[in-house]
Amino acid sequence: MSTPTSGTPFSTPAAAYATDQIILSKIDGGRWWARRYGHDRLVQQAPAAQAAGYDLGPCTPDAAQFIQRPARTLAHL
């Protein structure tokens, strides 16, 4: 199944809102993403770290893009 971002990670809670008009936490957004689009390393990493209570460190370029894309998308809704 293709993702709404042509292979680029997308904030899972923002994707859930834009697609299904539901508001989810980061952890629930990750679960929603996996059910809808399949598993993705970046999508699994952030909620797992939050659930375990550890910090992933500084934002990586992939993570920054993951966050910035839905902000631009939601600004146009």
Token pair listed for 9: 């990670």
- Contact residues for 11 (Cβ-Cβ < 8 A; gap 6+): 29, 66, 67, 69, 70, 71
Residue 9, pLDDT > 60, answer no
Q: How many CA atoms lie within 13 A of 22 on its CB side?
A: 11
**Averaged confidence pLDDT in the chain:** 75
pLDDT (average), residues 7-17: 64
pLDDT (average), residues 40-63: 82
For the chain, the domains span 12-75
pLDDT grade for 74, boundaries at 50, 70 and 90: low
